[in-house]
């Protein structure tokens, strides 16, 4: 079974802090994604990566950056956390090719609260 893990289930930070959210997958997937989930808004894509050191902006990249130094690990960075970044953050991965047609596998999520 594919396993996607996230470093924390719950995180509380203060405004202005630098925040790192880590995601690791164990299935050698090429593609990795970061979403934020807010009530009534569904999942919104922040960034995705299709290879090591490669990244592309999603729909809401402002205030975030990412890092992918190794294939299995994809980090989301909040350079200076703000209260409007309080949210549930979900990491996902998928494999290339056509067999799965882009099915994504999700981690358990990190609920971040910025005070």
Report, in Å, the least distance between residue 23 CB and other proteins. Answer: 11
Position 66 contacts other proteins (CB under 8 A): no
Q: Nearest-CA neighbor of 85 among 6, 21, 7, 5?
A: 21
Return phi, psi of residue 96, to 5°.
-80, 180
Q: Nearest-CA neighbor of 89 among 25, 9, 31?
A: 9
Closer residue to other proteins (CB): 58 or 63: 58
Both tokens of 96, joined, read 């290339």
Among 12, 28, 70, 96, binds other proteins (CB under 8 A): 96
10 Å CB burial of residue 69 (0-12, 13-18, 19+) is: exposed
CA distance 63 to 97: 32
Position 87 contacts other proteins (CB under 8 A): no
Among 49, 78, 81, 107, binds other proteins (CB under 8 A): 107
Binding mask 14-43 for other proteins (x = CB under 8 A): -----------------x-x------xxxx
Provide the binding-site residues for other proteins, judged by CB under 8 A: 4, 9, 31, 33, 40-43, 45, 48, 50, 90, 92, 94, 96, 100-109, 111
């Amino acid at each position: 079974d594919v396993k996607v893990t996230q470093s924390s289930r719950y995180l509380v930070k203060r405004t202005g802090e630098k925040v790192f959210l880590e995601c690791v997958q164990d299935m050698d997937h090429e593609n990795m994604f970061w979403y934020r989930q807010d009530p009534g808004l569904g999942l919104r894509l922040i960034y995705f990566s299709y290879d090591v050191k490669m990244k592309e902006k999603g729909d809401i990249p402002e205030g975030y950056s990412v890092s992918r130094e190794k294939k299995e690990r994809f980090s989301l960075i909040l350079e200076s956390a703000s209260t409007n970044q309080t949210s549930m953050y979900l990491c996902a991965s998928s494999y290339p090719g056509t067999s799965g047609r882009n099915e994504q596998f999700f981690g358990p999520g990190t609920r971040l609260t910025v005070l």
